[in-house]
């Protein structure tokens, strides 16, 4: 039995509320159970120097956790003068994932920055950030297309992510914190809405795993991502 009482292949309740900030070109609040992330997308008519003049667009991301997003207060990274290694890793992951689902030629020579701020954490913050980040990106691109600044839709396929793992010897979908902290195997699966893989992060946290178990987790991830893609499309419609 899972601590939440969910079935092995059952997601936490997912909701995506759009238009939650006044100024950002695209914004949403994604809630996956008790993990809540504010995602905003900002359009800028510039690109990083390394692609300037190439005609290619760029999508990048920044990620952060509020001090009381967890059960004890964390020190703001700004107060220490630098980002932690985990933060840098996650925001690079979000950027890679969102770029993988797009056509940078169609985007044109402009940059969209997706900011993901964790309001409340209960496991799976990077997965929620990617899933909500795509919705914010979708809304920003919709504005570019409405004004005619972008002619061809640069977002080819929705991008979302879900965690899966081995908890108490069983493969489970969408780990919350009690499961994540005790899981023998932990994995994050980033996929497109059509089921294509972008990135898989899997590690043995306390017990090694077999190829068969990995396949079971892949099957769970496909189920979860299909549900997330449906929620994304409904939110950004």
User: Binning pLDDT at 50, 70 and 90, where does residue 79 land?
Assistant: confident
What is the average pLDDT score of the chain? 96
Confidence of residue 82 (pLDDT cuts 50, 70, 90): confident
- Could you tell me which of 159, 135, 144 has the C-alpha nearest to residue 235? 135
Cα(136)–Cα(25) distance, rounded to whole angstroms?
8
Provide mean pLDDT across the span 155-181.
Answer: 96
**Tokens coding 227:** 């549900």
pLDDT of res. 130: 98
Q: Is 191 helix (H, G, I), strand (E, B) or coil?
A: strand
Q: Return the axis-axis angle of helices 85-100 and 125-146, rounded to nearest 10°.
A: 40
Q: Each residue of 184-223: pLDDT tens digit?
A: 999 999 999 999 999 999 999 888 999 999 999 999 999 9
What pLDDT was estimated at residue 78?
80
Q: Does residue 77 surpass a pLDDT of 90? A: no
Residues 6+ positions from 43 with CB-CB distance below 8 Å: 25, 110, 111, 112, 140, 143, 144
Half-sphere exposure of 201 (CA within 13 A, CB side): 15
**Taking a C-beta distance cutoff of 8 angstroms, is the pair 165, 140 a contact?**
no
CA angle 110, 42, 35 (to 5 degrees): 135
Tokens matching residue 88: 């840098």
| Region 31-59 average pLDDT | 97
Structure-block tokens of residue 135? 């919705």
pLDDT confidence of residue 81: 82
In the numeric block, which tokens belong to residue 183?
């899981």
pLDDT tens sequence across 10-23: 999 999 999 999 99
pLDDT band per the 50, 70, 90 thresholds, residue 133:
very high
pLDDT at residue 206, rounded to an integer: 85
Percent of the chain exceeding pLDDT 90 equals: 93
Using DSSP's 3-state secondary structure scheme, residue 18 falls into strand
Residue 49, pLDDT score: 96
Q: Is the pLDDT of residue 80 over 90?
A: no
Q: Give the model's pLDDT for residue 118.
A: 98
Give the pLDDT mean for 116-131: 98
| Predicted local distance difference test score (pLDDT) of residue 237 | 86
Mean pLDDT of the 22-39 span: 98
């Amino acid at each position: 039995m899972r601590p939440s009482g969910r079935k092995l292949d059952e997601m936490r309740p997912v909701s995506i509320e759009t238009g939650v900030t006044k100024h950002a070109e695209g914004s949403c609040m994604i809630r996956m159970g008790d993990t809540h992330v504010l995602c905003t997308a900002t359009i800028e008519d510039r690109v990083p120097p390394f692609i300037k003049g190439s005609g290619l667009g760029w999508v990048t991301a920044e990620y952060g956790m509020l001090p009381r997003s967890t059960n004890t207060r964390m020190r703001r990274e700004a107060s220490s003068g630098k980002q932690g290694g985990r933060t840098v890793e996650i925001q690079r992951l979000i950027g890679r994932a969102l770029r993988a689902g797009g056509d940078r030629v169609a985007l044109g020579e402009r940059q969209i920055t997706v900011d993901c701020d964790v309001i409340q954490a209960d496991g799976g913050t990077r997965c929620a950030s990617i899933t909500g980040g795509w919705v914010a990106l979708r809304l920003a691109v919709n504005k570019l297309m409405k004004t005619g600044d972008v002619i061809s839709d640069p977002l080819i396929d929705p991008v979302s992510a879900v965690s899966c793992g081995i908890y108490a010897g069983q493969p489970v979908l969408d780990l919350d914190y009690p499961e994540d902290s005790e899981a023998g195997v932990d994995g994050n699966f980033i996929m497109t809405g059509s089921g294509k893989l972008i990135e898989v992060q899997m590690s043995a946290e306390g017990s090694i795993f077999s190829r068969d178990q990995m396949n079971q987790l892949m099957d769970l991830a496909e189920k979860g991502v299909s549900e997330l893609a449906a929620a994304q499309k409904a939110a950004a419609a």
